[in-house]
């Protein structure tokens, strides 16, 4: 994205903080390349505490299913 980019998205219901989930941005299983200009890995301070401390995908799935890792 570039400066002044607007993003719109559609949801099927009202936002519920209690049901919101996060997945760790640097999860090695997802293998997302964040090396673009001003990427998150270069500026982690732009992340909220919730997103910085989010679980890895496999841990989130295990927690949802009640399986301990």
Instruction: Label each residue of the chain as H, E or C.
Output: CCCCCCCCCCCCCCCCHHHCCCCCCCCCCCCCCCCCCCCCCCCHHHCCHHHHCCCCHHHHHHHHHCCCC
Give the model's pLDDT for residue 38: 62
Q: Is the pTM of this model over 0.85?
A: no
Q: Is the pLDDT of residue 59 over 90?
A: yes
Structural contact between residues 50 and 22, judged by C-beta atoms closer than 8 angstroms = yes
Give the model's pLDDT for residue 1: 62
Structural contact between residues 57 and 67, judged by C-beta atoms closer than 8 angstroms = no
């Amino acid at each position: 994205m570039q400066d002044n980019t607007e993003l719109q998205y559609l949801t099927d219901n009202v936002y519920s903080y209690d049901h919101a989930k996060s997945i760790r941005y640097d999860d090695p299983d997802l293998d997302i390349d964040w090396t673009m200009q001003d990427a998150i890995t270069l500026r982690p301070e732009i992340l909220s505490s919730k997103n910085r401390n989010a679980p890895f995908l496999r841990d989130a799935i295990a927690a949802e299913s009640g399986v301990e890792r």
